[in-house]
Amino acid sequence: MEHNKNERILFADFLARFNKRTGVRKDAIFGGRKALMEEIYATGDPIYCDQSYYAHFDHLYPVRKEGEHFVCDGYTAFEDWRDCHCYTEYEDADGNKAWLMTGGRYD
């Protein structure tokens, strides 16, 4: 399966390719979100966002940096998206890594 880290991907295809969790998980709540996003983005490994919160989505969207902000699926200043950012690192059979980002709210 070919993989372009700049395009959205079916969630099922992501899990089929990156089928092993590495055990690395990081999260940030409130103020540390952008710093953690910068740290993970600097690895060069793709970051995909699971935007599911109230409903389940079948696609994951890439997180990209444009200027000083991160963008994802039309959202600008994505580092401010939701209250909590959680990242889980996955790996494929060839050792390529990708991050799955989820987010939550503390209402």
pTM: 0.85
Q: What tens-digit pLDDT sequence spans the chain (107 residues)?
A: 445 566 889 999 999 999 999 999 999 987 788 999 999 999 999 999 987 765 567 899 999 999 999 998 878 888 888 888 899 999 999 999 999 998 876 54
Best CA proximity match to 75, nearest among 90, 53, 99:
53
Angle at 50 between CA 47 and CA 56, to 5 degrees: 165
Backbone angles phi, psi at 17, to 5 degrees: -80, -55
